[in-house]
Chains A and B, each alone.
Chain A
Amino acid sequence: NAGVTQTPKFQVLKTGQSMTLQCAQDMNHEYMSWYRQDPGMGLRLIHYSVGAGITDQGEVPNGYNVSRSTTEDFPLRLLSAAPSQTSVYFCASSYDKQNYGYTFGSGTRLTVV
């Protein structure tokens, strides 16, 4: 099915470990973004991309890296996990954010112990 695919769905990390959250879309969308959502709260923008090879920081970028080598893939890397990074992470993509909004993946629930 077409859409945004995130892996893994669940992950437990120890403090200081690194990992990569994968995100892929097959809709040929130029715009992609990563968000984190803490319990009972809205979504906060971590990093975003407006096309292959172009990335920029969002509202809460510290502790995270991204790259966009292809239109389809937009991985998020946690450099050295901290308990404060325990959250649900959503990847999203858009063809034209102004008129069509974003399509979201099903999320990755990350716990850092």
Chain B
Amino acid sequence: TQLLEQSPQFLSIQEGENLTVYCNSSSVFSSLQWYRQEPGEGPVLLVTVVTGGEVKKLKRLTFQFGDARKDSSLHITAAQPGDTGLYLCAGAPSGTYKYIFGTGTRLKVLA
């Protein structure tokens, strides 16, 4: 059972377009992290969101944690080819130590 579902699974867009990736669960999380993974490498942490309703910005990337702490979103403004990669949300459901990953969103930004 996959507790963290991401959508869309694949996304191919032109440079300069905006996009949003969603991460949803039926479980409550004490925090969620977002990672980006390049081919042949391990995931690299982008951001942590902890408080329900929290919004964090990292240059052109905006991350939001849902009020009920069951979902999160990643919005990229004016995407660039360097944003290409696999985006993963992750966290441990409240009350557990199991740190699990979402199903992943593979983004390709075309020049």
Contacts and interface: CB of A to CB of B under 8 A. Distances in A.
Interface of A: 31, 33, 35, 40-45, 48, 50, 56, 58-59, 90, 92, 94, 97-107
A45 B106 contact: no
A43 B98 contact: no
B30 interface: yes
Given A98-B30, A101-B33, A42 B101 contact: yes
Nearest to A40: B106
A35 B28 CA distance: 22
A76 to B, nearest CB: 15
A43 B33 contact: no
A50 B33 CA distance: 19
Contacts of A92: 42
- Most central of B41, B45, B88, B100 by chain A CB within 10 Å: B100
Contact of A98 (B40, B43, B45, B50): B50
